Amino acid sequence: MALGVAALVAAGVLFGLSATGIIGDGGFRSGPGTVTGFGDVLTPAPSTPLPSLPTPSSAALTRLIIPRAKVDAPLVSLGIDENGVMQSTSNAWDVAWYDFSARPGTGGNAVFSGHVDYHDVGAAVFWNLRDLQPGDIIEVQLADGTAYKYSVSALNCMPVNEAPISEIVGATQSEVVTLITCCGTFDSSSRQYDHRLVVRADRIYDNVPTPQALP
């Protein structure tokens, strides 16, 4: 049954830290048609801005920085295709921000994805996401010099057909980023992985009082 995301509630911590040894066989065979997100996705309702947040920047999102995972990548804006599948980047190094999700800085769930590997390249931009640990820093940079930082709180590799899509990509009551890539086993006939690695990280409010979630 399709898991839509039209009506959503915050999910808190969705998953534990348990993503070891399940990133595939190292065959580096993903390509432009390999889905890095999920299918059966309906456009979620927008997040409601949290009170007490400073006015967010409207500048273009430019880069995603994750020191432990050795990520320093350009950001591109993607969406959902006509079949309800989250679009994937067309190369090994770009990271997608999904325009149906919250913009960083606005108080909701900003969703990103990237390839774990890529044919004729090898390890791709999100290959090292599996190495993340609680407290590791994720930074989203904008064209005007604004940078939003987040602290990793959860990571899990889950079966595509059993993943709680609405909780992963839907609106939240606090500001987070969600990173998605492939894990599990690669099916050479469909050119798809059977699991997704999902990382959740919470906003760090430097010199800003932590906003209270709406009731």
- Cβ atoms 22, 133 nearer than 8 A: no
- Cβ atoms 119, 93 nearer than 8 A: no
Residue 40's pLDDT is 53
Cα 205 to Cα 199: distance, rounded to the nearest angstrom: 19
Residue 143's pLDDT is 97
Cα 5 to Cα 42: distance, rounded to the nearest angstrom: 5
Tell which CATH classification among 3.20.20.70, 1.10.1660.10, 2.40.260.10, 1.20.1440.230 matches the domain 61-204. 2.40.260.10
Residue 114's pLDDT is 97
DSSP string, 66-78: ETTTTEEEEEEEE
Residue 78's pLDDT is 96
Cα 157 to Cα 151: distance, rounded to the nearest angstrom: 19
Indicate the pairing of strand 122-123 with strand 95-98: unpaired
- Which ranges in the chain belong to alpha helices (H)? 165-169
Q: Give the tens place of pLDDT for each residue, 143-179.
A: 999 999 999 999 999 999 999 998 999 999 899 999 9
Residue 160 phi, psi (nearest 5): -55, -45
- Cβ atoms 200, 151 nearer than 8 A: no
- Beta carbons within 8 Å of 54's beta carbon, 6+ residues apart: 208
Q: Which tokens sit at 90?
A: 């067309």
Query: Comparing C-alpha atoms, which of 140, 155, 153 is closest to residue 201?
Result: 153
Q: Where are the domains of the chain?
A: 61-204
Residue 27's pLDDT is 58
Q: What is the mean pLDDT of each run of 10 residues along the chain (215 residues)?
A: 27 39 52 57 53 81 98 97 91 96 95 94 95 96 96 94 91 94 90 93 78 53
